[in-house]
Structure 1
Amino acid sequence: MGASNLPNARIPSATYRLQFNAGFTFADATRIIGYLHDLGISDVYASSYLAAKEGSVHGYDVVNQTILNKEVGDEQGHQAMVDELTCHGMGHILDFVPNHMCIESGDNIWWMDVLENGMSSPYAHFFDIDWEPVKKELTGKVLLPLLGDQYGKVLEGGGLQLLFRDGAFFVQCYSLQIPIEPRSYLRILQHRLDSLKERFPPEAGPVQELLSIETGLQHLPLDTERDPEQMGERHREKEIIKKRLWQLCQDAPEVMDFIAENIRIFNGTKGDPGSFDLLDQLLREQVYRLSYWRVATEEINYRRFFDINALAAIRMEDQAVYDLTHALLFKLIREGKVTGVRIDHVDGLYDPVSYLQNLQKSAYVQLCGCRGEGGNGAEAEYFGELERDPSYQPLYAVVEKILMKGEQLPEQWPVAGSTGYEFLNSVNGIFVDTEAAKQFDRIYDRFTKRASDFTEIVYEKKKLVMQVSLSGEVNMLAHQLNNIAEQDRLTRDFTLNSLVRAISEVIACFPVYRTYANSASVRDKDVQYIEAAVSKAKRWNPAISGSVFDFLRDVLLLKAPERASEESRRAWLYFAMRFQQITGPVMAKGLEDTSFYVYHRLISLNDVGGMPGKFGTTLEAFHGQNLERNKNFPHAMITTSTHDSKRGEDVRTRIDAISELPDLWQKSVVRWSRINKGRGSLIENQRVPDRNEEYLIYQTLLGAWPAGVMDKDGYDAFKVRIKEYLTKALREAKVHSSWVSPNSAYEDAVLGFVDGIMEQSPGNPFLREFQPLQRRLARCGLFTSLSQVLLKMTAPGVPDFYQGTELIEFTLVDPDNRRQVDYGVRIDALRELRAREAEIGAQALCRELLEQGENGWIKLFLIYRVLNYRREHREPFDFGEYLPLEAKGARERHVCAFARKGSTSTLIVAAARLVAKLMPDEGSHPLGEAAWQDTVLLLPEGAGERFRNVVNGQQVEAERREGRPAIPLAALFSEVSVALLEPL
């Protein structure tokens, strides 16, 4: 992929992620666009703002992709935001959710229609529902795991109530009103019918109308009907019947009273189990089966987003589904209101490459239509472009995709790249001292009193997830594989149990989130991943016959026997593609949402897309990744914080600094643990918190401790945030508590420990000993944060800024990192910085800001300076070469540097790293000769001799060292520890 593949797409210079919800609307965004432009942002990158479940704070629980979220604003508000973007020459990237929809909302009219009409619904094929599941009792039904207890208990407790409105019947289940299948209205309307007849004279009109309505219900096509003509008739007639019934109730109050009394009878009486029989019989006739939410683990028959019952997957591979769900998106693209897209959870799709190709084709047609060249002509023109260049992309598109070590996006994907998780972990890793890995292994193992192997933890946690959350999906796969095995005499003796175990073990050993076979052949990379997973599973499970694993491998690699029929080959491909959709959720839940909360050697490494078993990133690996991106995906997003981050970027940089101080760290945690021993509790003879959790608590406090002096309210608010984080961490770890079975006694004991160690009193020696190290790490973290953000703004790719991170922010995992941002503070700060810069100059201002580092304004000023420069000088960043640079001298490993070589000039980027060793005490800094000694940065020939640091305006000169141009780092970093040099 190169820049030439995006000839007409708008390529952002820098993006800014905004989280839209009722608390941050189109109007709110409109008010800050001028500020974002002044900061240097070229494109707003918006979370999904299509219609979502009421009260959604993130927008991923979409209920209708064809309309805007009314809580965010209306079309007028949206147009005002777009107009403001246009006024500032800015673009707009929209986060689009193609994989799933929220089904716990009456606003999802497609899902509600499915619940009313079953397989006869025109939307039945929209959702990934197995209408003939393994559990035969669910044939033709959808399992609805909505209940907070067992079905019978909820029913007899009055938790399910029949109701009637607008001529239709519903069952009230908590806040959700679920439609009743129309033919089953007869059970309600025919109950006690004689008592209604007695209230009217013979042949009375209301009675005759009700009988006529009943006849119409009896003749409705069944909910299993799939003939289009019969489906259409059912849809028309049921709506006519509802209108007639409602009109009858308005005209004849006696009928309304009759129905109301029947509803009261059906709804039963608490304490009288038999009184609920009528409602139970009615519910048994529905196209859904209401169940306890725990039942979903094993019996769910619709595909979900991970293990979230409320989010049902949609079949984007169906063209009708694709067309309808994208109608509004393409309208916005055609009108120029959206200039790029971010595709959420691309790995959840059945066939990602076909979807992405379809997306680009559709975008091309819309864009050509805007120019008056739409229709089949535009489509033919698009295919002509594809023949010339298979990776041609008319629309800037990036995908949310987690790439594991060494993994690249599939080359067939017509996208600008990913959203940058891999960069986040790579750039964070260079601020971790890789040489201290073994020391930290020893410190961690000794403190926790156990040996920890991250690879084994991931393996075990993936298996746990398949047992407690996703066993239904694994069982479904096993039954599919069993059907395949039964077709061949060489494989039919494999038992269902052995196939379940083989599938589980291979998924547990899978090295990446998923593979991407979608035809008769499998990519070479995917072959390697499958072979590696099967080989490892066989090695770790000698008690399971290797032939079972070999059979599974052959099916995944589509190595069907020559004698296999075409139908059998299709079954193999279908299984392989379904398998691909499951490995991702298992990896995500087992790795990100479990292992990351269990393995705490250095928690700054535990972020989405990372593998904390690897202790940091070498400079060689960092440069190698940048070179690869510049070659293949030069316009991919690169980021340092997202809405999914486990910790904010400025929390991580503080914790990174611990890696440079192993001796001090070991001494500190041992001392703290001894001091705090009395703060813990004993539950069932077990120490609470356990040693591993205590290790997490200390790192979390060091990373998230707010800058500056906190008043009592601020300190109390911080404690609340820490306790909310730890509650989530305990449940995600699934060791002593979980979301499924919260252990409140254990959680309370841990939170009590936090209250104790954070008590502000003279009798708490912990805080007295904790704060000096916290202040030192905070100072290190500040300089590292500046380096990190500079590297993001200048490395290959489009730098993305998560809302609020232009100032130093110490956020933890969501919902903490999704709190509303105070833009007033940021707008005022930038205004004041620009005024102060005009008054005293950038160089003096930088010195001033570093002295006041706690307020984070130095980070804001750095971003403002570099992004504005980048926007005005795009060529080296968009199309330039990437040249790693080396340093020579005593501090050579403490700088990360590279050049961006454009057609007319070469820019030099340099940033300090591993600064804790350059700052031996609390009051020092990584500046000047004391820090850098004789170290020089070697420059490429022809780069220039005199330079200006864009960051602060300081001028520096190169000199010759051993026949090469070089800049002494003592001079380059005399006043600020980051540099973007332009030649003079």
Structure 2
Amino acid sequence: MAPAAGKPIPRATYRVQLNGEFGFGRTTAIADYIARLGVSHLYASPYMKARPGSTHGYDIVNHNELNPEVGDQNDFRALVEALKRNKLGQILDFVPNHMGVGGSDNEWWLNVLEWGPESPYAGYFDIEWESDYRYLQGKLLVPFLGDQYGAVLVSGGLELRFDSETGSFAVWAYGSHKLPVRPQDYGTILGTDHPDLERIGDAFAHLAYARPHQIARAGVQKAELATLVATRPDVADAINQRLSVFRGYQGEIDSWGHLHALIAGQNWRVAYFKVAADDINYRRFFNINELAGLRMDEPELFDVAHRMVLGMVEDGTLDGIRIDHIDGLIDPRGYCERLVAAASKPFYLVVEKILARHERLREDWPIDGTTGYEYANLMGGLFVDPKAEEAFTRLYADFIGRRDDFEEVVRQCKIRIMESEMASELNVLSRKAARIARSNPATADFTANILHQALKETIARFPVYRTYVDGGVPSDLDRRDIDWAISQARRAEQGPDGSVYDFLQRLLTTDLVAAPKSGYSHRQVTRFAMRFQQYSGPVMAKGLEDTAFYRYNRLAALNEVGGHPDHFGVSVSAFHRANQDRARNWPGNMLASTTHDTKRGEDTRARLYALSEMPEEWERQVQTWSRLLRARRGDVEGTAPPDRNDEYLFYQLLLGAWPAELTGASVEQIEQSAMTAFAERIVGAMTKSMREAKLHSTWAAPNEAYEGAVISFIHDALDVTRRNAFLEAFLPFQAALARIGMVNGLSQTLLKLTSPGVPDIYQGCELWNLSLVDPDNRLPVDYDARRKLLDEVEGVVERGVVAGLLERWTDGAVKLAVTRQALAVRAEKPEVFSAGEYLPLDATGDRADHVVAYARRAGDDTVVVAVPRLVGQLGESPDWGNTAIPLPRGARWRNRLTGAEVEGGDAVSIATLFADLPVALLSREG
């Protein structure tokens, strides 16, 4: 949608991950550096108060306080002033969907644990207080134990403590998870041995008489108890004596009876973390127990949670907000509308949203676009050769010994998630659907079990993350996706009767209550449809991104957030169409290539794309490497771990992440310390891949034997302390592939920085980013080295000798030069890039398929972009022959990357454009 008048749309952003090691102070120190790069805005990760030790900031415990681990108010003011000094704005990543829970830091959560449904904050969280399980009626499950409840109890892992400052009691799990005791039970703890404690205990026991002021009354009584303890040693001693009653002897279950009885009466049920899969009764962020979902559609909660962030918009600290996990909210459009309405002035607003291939961003949302996952995959697809798909599919199947259908892999993975980590949520949905069915004689026989089957089969085949039914008339887009999923689910073998799907279809579209006197509750039906949407999204995310992406390894570069591993390549015309559509409809959409969530960094993928150009050579290499490594380990039959699929992924990770500084080195030239550090990165990525795939190992139950064998395999492969036949075979191929990946990386960089939208640079990606899945992609960035390199690059550009940087491409200076120059042109010609036309330029000649070119034009001001693609097929020194792109006649142009002048005519040859550098950025000089 077109930006609102006065809205501050960024020119380009620079994403920084804040944490305890890199906080406000260190961000202040790089403000001048990122301004010199040419971006207009700092794009900061969440910095509201989070759980202690948070490395990412998404586990917020207070939306209205700064995270003390990244800095205080003075530090923050210094950062804001530094940004303004350097003419930089700021965009903040904001988290409305969930909060960090557990520990002892979230006051809202602790209050809910203490007071249960009576807590003033109980309505802030998505809690199912009316459980069908008697043992959870009116209780909140707290699944934070590392072992069975009984085992933790008798081992002393649960301890009753008294806080003398607040006059309150709590059970502590492992000394870190605070579980407040109901004040009504304080009398049980205080006992009758001491007269003052007996009196206060009796007052606590009769708090019900103070309704609706019982919470305030309890606060008064706690303060009295704290004062008594502070002034009366005999009272403090008496409380310590009473606490001893609730301690037992390790391993003797009977001795813990008093503590167990106390725990049984609380508003919470503390349990083994695996219990959450079956019994969880609060909405989580995906399946993470420590992140509890918020009901941000509640007006009071919305106002409280957004007080600070909207204040920063009002005072000019923030120009924009990035909304994390928009699909987790029950009503994303309503949330965005409320946020825009609540702000005192226009601001830039983007949402983290993953789109299916056929899905379009909803145009009735008052936003500027997404955070750009779809662009990363669109752009990357240009460097994948679609003609090689059949050969690539065959060689993958031959190597792993089976032919997997990706769609079926995804279906199986989603079912696995619904039957394990997220089974409880599906059970709740099924019971809610059954209650609705029972409310009308026509559907009264649809049991929870039957509806459970139908829901599971439908969600397993859902073609998008979620729909957006909100109580009004469902959109045609929503109906299309629901109808498709239902029609596919009907085909399931041994599925429920077709009439169940008829009911479910009308329930999910809310057609059940479209007509008056339907016999169903409009609120219950609408609420169910909306809660269903909140479930289908996490199931897709966990099933697709966090399971299927680690099982289907045909070309790992395609297994990316927002990506489609079964779609092999993007045509130049499709790329142009998508850019034109974005220029018309979403000019403020972010353009991403690497984020804190990407499975592999942009330059890791750039290398792996090149494998698609050489399927036969890739197959020969993989077979050779496998024979060498397995022979070295005595595995002649090839049956020992890793399995062939994990092994196939391992080779891709090695190629993609191989350090640039080690490229071209022989085995003898590689220092052991460098290889040890690299091996640990590969071990981390492979361990995560094995556990996410959930075939040989899992996070909940790691298979130490299998994982250990794989880790040993990795260390054998990367052993440089003795002759290594594998590395001798691997290194020449890696060097050749890395050279192609370098060209792909430069092409990606220039495309992102000049396409319609707002380009985002993830921290450090101005140089090569050869990262793997997190936490590898969140490693510290050496800004001192980058600052020095930028000094050098600016001198090189000024002297017009950028081409020389290609000879030393491994240090990333050439990518930095392209980044700096492209951003300079973007700053110099804001209208061209913010509102200019996007004009595809069709290459002609024998190598036309290997060129992507377009112009950005506003009035008489024009910029031309040209990059190569599929260069692996062209050799190290491509012969471009008669390949050319059209340029306006009579104009003079300058290549802003090299300084070279280019004469306009009917066309300019690609050989001329790429004479010094394999990418070109021309600006019209006259």
Question: 1:956: Cα distance to partner?
Answer: 1.4
Distance 1:96 1:153 in 2: 39
Amino acid in the other structure paired with 1:630:
A
1:464 aligns with 2:465: no
1:728 aligns with 2:688: yes
Question: 1:683: Cα distance to partner?
Answer: 14
Q: 2:600 aligns with which of 626, 640, 647?
A: 647
Could you tell me whether the CA contact under 8 Å between 1:680 and 1:750 is conserved in 2?
no
Distance 2:26 2:170 in 1: 38
Alignment CA distance shift 1:735-1:57 (3 Å): same
Distance 2:783 2:588 in 1: 28
Q: 2:12 aligns with which of 8, 11, 14?
A: 14
Could you tell me whether the CA contact under 8 Å between 1:905 and 1:943 is conserved in 2?
no
Instruction: Using the aligned pairs only, state the percent identity.
Output: 45
Q: 2:837 aligns with which of 881, 905, 915?
A: 881
Deviations along 1:66-98, one digit per CA (max 9) or x if unpaired, are: 100001111111111111111122110000000
Could you tell me whether the CA contact under 8 Å between 1:949 and 1:955 is conserved in 2?
yes
SS for the counterpart of 2:698 is: coil
The correspondence of residues 284-363 of structure 1 with structure 2, limited to 5 A, is 284-363=264-343
Amino acid in the other structure paired with 1:767:
L
Could you tell me whether the CA contact under 8 Å between 2:672 and 2:721 is conserved in 1?
no
1:967 aligns with 2:908: yes
SS for the counterpart of 2:613 is: coil
Question: 1:692: Cα distance to partner?
Answer: 0.6
Q: Which residue of 1 aligns with 2:825?
A: 869
Q: 1:398 aligns with which of 335, 343, 350?
A: 350
Q: Which residue of 1 aligns with 2:806?
A: 850
Q: 2:588 aligns with which of 623, 626, 635?
A: 635
Could you tell me whether the CA contact under 8 Å between 1:356 and 1:415 is conserved in 2?
yes
SS for the counterpart of 1:888 is: coil
Could you tell me whether the CA contact under 8 Å between 1:943 and 1:983 is conserved in 2?
no
Alignment CA distance shift 1:297-1:564 (3 Å): farther
SS for the counterpart of 1:540 is: coil
Could you tell me whether the CA contact under 8 Å between 2:17 and 2:56 is conserved in 1?
yes
SS for the counterpart of 1:144 is: strand
Could you tell me whether the CA contact under 8 Å between 1:63 and 1:105 is conserved in 2?
no
Distance 2:697 2:712 in 1: 16
Distance 1:786 1:271 in 2: 63
Question: 1:892: Cα distance to partner?
Answer: 0.7
Question: 1:684: Cα distance to partner?
Answer: 14
Could you tell me whether the CA contact under 8 Å between 2:630 and 2:636 is conserved in 1?
no
Alignment CA distance shift 1:22-1:62 (3 Å): same
Deviations along 1:608-642, one digit per CA (max 9) or x if unpaired, are: 00010111211122112111111110111011000
Alignment CA distance shift 1:943-1:275 (3 Å): farther
1:977 aligns with 2:918: yes
Q: Which residue of 2 aligns with 1:831?
A: 791
1:760 aligns with 2:701: no
Q: Which residue of 1 aligns with 2:120?
A: 122
Deviation larger for 581-590 or 81-90: 81-90
Amino acid in the other structure paired with 1:752:
S
Amino acid in the other structure paired with 1:214:
G
Q: 2:493 aligns with which of 516, 519, 541?
A: 541
The correspondence of residues 663-674 of structure 1 with structure 2, limited to 5 A, is 663-674=616-627
Could you tell me whether the CA contact under 8 Å between 1:723 and 1:754 is conserved in 2?
yes
Runs of 5+ in structure 1 lacking a partner? Answer: 197-206, 223-228, 368-393, 960-964
The correspondence of residues 356-375 of structure 1 with structure 2, limited to 5 A, is 356-363=336-343, 366-367=344-345
Could you tell me whether the CA contact under 8 Å between 1:876 and 1:906 is conserved in 2?
yes
Amino acid in the other structure paired with 2:170:
F
The correspondence of residues 115-514 of structure 1 with structure 2, limited to 5 A, is 115-166=113-164, 167-174=167-174, 175-190=176-191, 193-194=192-193, 196=194, 207=195, 209-221=196-208, 230-231=211-212, 233-363=213-343, 366-367=344-345, 394-514=346-466
Question: 1:565: Cα distance to partner?
Answer: 4.8
Q: Which runs of 4+ in 1 moved over 6 A?
A: 681-685
1:702 aligns with 2:655: yes
Deviations along 1:87-117, one digit per CA (max 9) or x if unpaired, are: 1221100000000000123121111111111
Could you tell me whether the CA contact under 8 Å between 1:901 and 1:907 is conserved in 2?
yes
Question: 1:299: Cα distance to partner?
Answer: 0.8
Amino acid in the other structure paired with 2:691:
R
SS for the counterpart of 2:480 is: helix
Q: 2:472 aligns with which of 520, 523, 530?
A: 520
Distance 1:890 1:312 in 2: 58
SS for the counterpart of 1:479 is: helix
Could you tell me whether the CA contact under 8 Å between 1:6 and 1:396 is conserved in 2?
no
Distance 2:491 2:895 in 1: 56
Q: 1:615 aligns with which of 562, 565, 568?
A: 568
Distance 1:100 1:590 in 2: 20
Could you tell me whether the CA contact under 8 Å between 1:20 and 1:72 is conserved in 2?
yes
Amino acid in the other structure paired with 1:230:
R
Deviation larger for 759-768 or 858-867: 759-768
Could you tell me whether the CA contact under 8 Å between 1:161 and 1:173 is conserved in 2?
yes
Question: 1:973: Cα distance to partner?
Answer: 0.9
Distance 1:614 1:713 in 2: 39
Could you tell me whether the CA contact under 8 Å between 1:112 and 1:179 is conserved in 2?
yes
Q: Which residue of 2 aligns with 1:745?
A: 705
Distance 1:563 1:799 in 2: 50
Distance 1:859 1:692 in 2: 33
Could you tell me whether the CA contact under 8 Å between 1:944 and 1:983 is conserved in 2?
no
Could you tell me whether the CA contact under 8 Å between 1:680 and 1:749 is conserved in 2?
no
Alignment CA distance shift 1:543-1:249 (3 Å): closer
Question: 1:18: Cα distance to partner?
Answer: 0.4
Alignment CA distance shift 1:673-1:10 (3 Å): same
Q: TM-score, normalised by structure 2?
A: 0.97
Question: 1:836: Cα distance to partner?
Answer: 3.5
Distance 1:545 1:565 in 2: 22
Could you tell me whether the CA contact under 8 Å between 2:15 and 2:44 is conserved in 1?
yes
Q: Which residue of 2 aligns with 1:376?
A: none
Could you tell me whether the CA contact under 8 Å between 2:187 and 2:200 is conserved in 1?
no
Alignment CA distance shift 1:885-1:162 (3 Å): same
Q: Which residue of 2 aligns with 1:896?
A: 852
Q: Which residue of 1 aligns with 2:641?
A: 688
Question: 1:566: Cα distance to partner?
Answer: 8.0
Could you tell me whether the CA contact under 8 Å between 2:313 and 2:347 is conserved in 1?
no
The correspondence of residues 30-179 of structure 1 with structure 2, limited to 5 A, is 30-166=28-164, 167-174=167-174, 175-179=176-180
Distance 1:143 1:685 in 2: 46
Distance 2:495 2:683 in 1: 44
Question: 1:762: Cα distance to partner?
Answer: 5.0
Distance 2:706 2:508 in 1: 43
Could you tell me whether the CA contact under 8 Å between 2:797 and 2:817 is conserved in 1?
no
Alignment CA distance shift 1:789-1:764 (3 Å): same
Distance 1:272 1:531 in 2: 58
Could you tell me whether the CA contact under 8 Å between 2:48 and 2:65 is conserved in 1?
yes
SS for the counterpart of 1:708 is: helix
Distance 1:535 1:437 in 2: 29
Distance 1:668 1:258 in 2: 76
Distance 1:576 1:481 in 2: 10
SS for the counterpart of 2:108 is: helix
RMSD, aligned CA:
1.6
Deviations along 1:692-722, one digit per CA (max 9) or x if unpaired, are: 1110011110010001235322211111111
Q: 1:774 aligns with which of 734, 754, 759?
A: 734
Q: Which residue of 1 aligns with 2:884?
A: 936
Q: Which residue of 2 aligns with 1:201?
A: none
SS for the counterpart of 1:432 is: coil
Q: TM-score, normalised by structure 1?
A: 0.91
Question: 1:563: Cα distance to partner?
Answer: 5.3
Question: 1:212: Cα distance to partner?
Answer: 2.7
Q: Which residue of 1 aligns with 2:529?
A: 576
SS for the counterpart of 1:350 is: coil
